[in-house]
């Protein structure tokens, strides 16, 4: 049972990281390329700027993922240290917290008393119980920060190449924009649909929302650049 729960947890983290990286990777370079298409004639400029943005965006997003994972682990360790101090310093209060937790699940103080005493006899198990049921914290995987950074950065780069790729094959920015719009909107719709399936939400609604956000971002960038 514990092995299954851990696999599910890791899978959820992986899906979340892919969603974070891919959604921004599809949207931000798409908006940038669309904006430049309204101001520049050469696709070479758009490709160069797009690649620079993808590189910078991948690094920034990956770093953000690493720091988030690292901070989660630091927070867990700090809370765990505090719980150890509390079970040593104020054990009776901590015992009462277990009783209160069990009461919230419909278990009377009398019936939970053996559990309270058993946990009190094992500080390690006691702290583990409090971390999970009082604070709602699971111990982060030590390698989570690096995996998150690499997954988000890679997903961003893959997503960013999609709206930029048509500009490699055409010489006029407007033609590249039309191809990019068609390709990226299709990719956004597919990504949104798959994201909905993976997260258990309505797939069609997710596809519509993801496509709409990308289209609005690109349209706004194009109109702003076109007016400059």
pLDDT in tens, 70-93: 888 888 888 888 888 887 888 888
Domains contained in the chain, number: 1
CA distances from 17 to 20, 41, 159 (A): 5, 36, 13
Span 212-221, average pLDDT: 75
Q: Give the per-residue pLDDT at 227.
A: 46
Strand-pairing partners, residue 172, are 42
pLDDT bracket for residue 153 (50, 70, 90): very high
Domain assignment of residue 50, given as a range: 2-226
Q: Which residues contact 98 (CB under 8 A, 6 or more apart)?
A: 112, 115, 116, 119, 129, 130
Q: Give the per-residue pLDDT at 127.
A: 82
Position 56 pLDDT exceeds 90: yes
**Residues counted in the chain:** 228
Q: Return the axis-axis angle of helices 173-199 and 203-226, rounded to nearest 10°.
A: 150
The CA-based diameter of the chain, rounded to the nearest angstrom, is 79
**Of residues 218 and 133, which shows the higher confidence score?**
133
Q: What are the DSSP calls for 107-131, one per residue? A: --HHHHHHHHHHHHT-HHHHHHHII
Contact 53, 190 (CB under 8 A): no
Strand-pairing partners, residue 42, are 172
Q: What are the DSSP calls for the chain, one per residue? A: -HHHHHHHHHHHHHHHHHHHHHHHHHHHHHHHHHHHHTT-SBHHHHHHHHHHHHHHHHHHHHHHHHHHHHHHHHHHHHHHHHHHHHHHH-HHHHHHHHHHHHHHTT--HHHHHHHHHHHHT-HHHHHHHIIIIIS--PPPPTTHHHHHHHHHHHHHHHHHHHHHGGGGT-SBHHHHHHHHHHHHHHHHHHHHHHHHHHHTS-HHHHHHHHHHHHHHHHHHHHHHHHT-
Q: Give the per-residue pLDDT at 8.
A: 44
Q: How far apart are CA 41 and CA 154, in angstroms?
A: 30
Contact 172, 43 (CB under 8 A): yes
């Amino acid at each position: 049972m514990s092995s299954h729960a851990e696999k599910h947890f890791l899978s959820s983290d992986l899906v979340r990281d892919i969603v974070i990286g891919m959604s921004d990777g599809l949207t931000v370079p798409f908006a940038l390329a669309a904006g430049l298409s309204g101001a520049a004639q050469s696709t070479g400029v758009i490709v160069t700027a797009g690649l620079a943005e993808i590189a910078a965006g991948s690094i920034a997003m990956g770093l953000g993922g690493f720091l988030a994972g690292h901070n989660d682990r630091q927070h867990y360790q700090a809370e765990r240290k505090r719980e150890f101090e509390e079970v040593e310093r104020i054990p009776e209060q901590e015992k009462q917290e277990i009783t209160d937790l069990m009461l919230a699940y419909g278990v009377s103080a009398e019936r939970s008393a053996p559990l309270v005493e058993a946990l009190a006899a094992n500080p390690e198990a006691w702290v583990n119980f409090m971390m999970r049921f009082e604070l709602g914290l699971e111990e982060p995987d030590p390698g989570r920060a690096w995996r998150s950074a690499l997954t988000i950065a890679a997903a961003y780069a893959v997503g960013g190449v999609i709206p930029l790729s048509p500009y490699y094959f055409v010489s006029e920015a407007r033609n590249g924009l039309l191809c990019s719009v068609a390709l990226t909107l299709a990719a956004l719709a597919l990504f949104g649909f798959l994201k909905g399936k993976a997260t258990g939400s309505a797939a069609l609604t997710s596809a519509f929302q993801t496509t709409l956000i990308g289209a609005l971002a690109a349209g706004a960038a194009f109109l702003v650049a076109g007016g400059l």
